A and B are shown apart, each in its own frame.
Chain A
Amino acid sequence: MAVPILFDAVTIRHFSSISRLDLLEMCHGYRPKPRWVEGVRNEIQMGDLSGYRECRPILDSTWFGDPLEPEMIDLASIAGLQIALGNARFEDEDKTETLRHRGEAESIQQALKYGYSFVTDDNDAHRLANFRLGAGRVFDTVDLLRLAVANSDLTSTEAVATAHRIQGLDRSLRRQYERLLTVQDFQ
């Protein structure tokens, strides 16, 4: 049986910024819900309030469904993960931001608890999740595009173009993909 996959805010916003949320549905629509956690939805709501245009279509989409809400018993583990990911105390620019890395921390903790997978393009969250969940359960945007190619939802040329469009909007893929991606990356 397919395992639910939890999407991080950064990855959802990547696809929304190029109006391709449909790709997520195309590749992962068969998976059962949940598709995101409460902390990720909160981050996207905050982004919407701050005027980031890619956030509104995400909130309007019905595909994501209700976010997974952590239980009280999960809060200590989530707080620990948030600190491990570098909560606001460790970052100079805004020490008062309590939501920073909250979505990633919740996603990793819930994926760990329920055996779900996790998708993120945040380098640190990806690395930490790899350690905690195991390598086969953590993915990023390039992985999603490769899967779309494997499923024949996209050609490798279209996958490259999609990645370039995301990068062209100054949105970051994981560090290893900072170079210009080519068709070979998707074959």
Chain B
Amino acid sequence: MDIGARVREVREMIGMKAQDLGTEIGLDPSAISNIERGKRSVKGDELAAIAKTLGVSVLALLDGNSLLARLPVSPRTSNGVMLKGEVLERITGIAELHEILAEWESETLNYSFPAVDTNEWLDQAPSLANWAREKLEYSPTGSNHFFDLVGAIENKLGIDVLVESRADEDFSGASLTDVEYSLIYVNAEQPITRALFTLAHELGHVLAQDGSFVIDQDLVANSDNERFANAFAAELLLPEQGIRSLITSENLDALALCSLLALYGTSYETLIYRLHNLRIIDAVGRDKLRKIGLRGLMSQINDGDLEAKLFARMKRYPTRHAPVPLTKRAFTGYKMGVISSRPLASLLGVSPEVVTATMELDAAAELEDAVVSNGLNSDSASDLYGGSPVEEVE
């Protein structure tokens, strides 16, 4: 497909009239029509303006088969709410960087995940979670739950994870799922216990390869894909076997619940959600626990250390984390002259001057190490996995 036909395709996809596109970029409607029909060549600056107006990367117009062309043109959350586009913009920038680096790299990324049918989410999610736990060598009872999982996803699966604050947009996480490149994006503007579930939920989307791009606002399960991602995350973080060995309907009390939270590092809301979908509690019990809230629960235990630990975790937020696999590729790309300091600086969250000055001092390895190692920084199955596992509970 030539550039003109691609411009028309994207323009029609977003429902924009040729006249409006022309007005926006200062071109006569007939010029747009001629460009789209291949009767007039398009200049570089015109193409950039067209891409900007249509909200896509120039690369998406130049190559209809590229990763960028597969990104959606209208950013919506999983609930269908239109976003301002900041998240899509950020992911588009990262996908562009991937494309530029990949062009020079001799090896392509090769993801290998089990085939999943998300229509069979109730059966498939736990088995995929077990596969993932083994592949990731991830223990849900480790000491640094969130960043342990981030590290395992990047090291064992080669999937990039970006964690950064996006106070400007109401979203929990997003995932880019593509055979060519996958990325998980977690908003650091949420407590680390909640971010943990978001991370696992987005991993579920990526492993299920269930669509090119998902932005999750509140993780409410309103489709099989979302229910699958929630069920996957619940089993990965709170494995049924482990939970059942520690708690039953009979011994469920405040201390047991608080101990589970300390052990698995999830939020209180996620734990309630999990106990419900494992049928350890019913909907009435779930609502009761929500009403009591974590603070209410903590007031009932007589264990100062445990209380302090849970309280501290409630107040903790994830630090910024640059996607390590992509950052390593970008370092190599910088050293080879494929990219300048600016895209690398953007990934690392530092100024281009810091990157250049450090490289000139031949301290690149130290910078790379520093950045990469410290983590830049009457219930049906649908009901059990419905609702939101991260909904705020007082």
Contact = CB atoms under 8 A, between A and B. Distances in A.
A84 interface: yes
A2 to B, nearest CB: 26
Given A83-B343, A86-B339, 11 more contacts: A75-B3, A75-B58, A79-B59, A83-B59, A84-B338, A85-B339, A85-B342, A86-B343, A102-B44, A128-B340, A175-B360
B45 A102 contact: yes
Interface in A71-86: 72, 74-76, 78-80, 82-86
B337 A132 contact: yes
B59 A39 contact: no
A87 B100 CA distance: 12
Interface residues of A, number: 36
Contacts of B62: 75-76, 79
B44 A39 contact: yes
Contacts of B337: 127-128, 130-132
Contacts of B336: 131
A76 B63 contact: yes
Summarize B's interface: helix, strand, loop or mixed.
Answer: helix
Contacts of B340: 84-86, 124-125, 127-128
A85 B344 CA distance: 10
Nearest to B85: A95
Nearest to A131: B337
Given A83-B97, A130-B337, A98 B342 contact: no
Contact of A86 (B41, B47, B58, B352): B352
Interface residues of B, number: 37
Interface in A125-146: 125, 127-128, 130-132
A98 B356 CA distance: 24
B48 A99 contact: yes
A76 B343 contact: no
Nearest to A90: B346
A80 B103 contact: yes
A80 B58 CA distance: 9
Interface in B1-52: 3, 41-45, 47-49, 51-52
Contacts of A131: 336-338
Contacts of A182: none
Nearest to A37: B44
B3 A72 contact: yes
A72 B61 CA distance: 12
Given A130-B337, A132-B337, A98 B343 contact: no
Interface in A48-85: 69-70, 72, 74-76, 78-80, 82-85
Interface in A95-123: 95-96, 98-99, 102, 106, 123
A91 B86 CA distance: 13
B96 interface: yes
A84 B43 contact: no
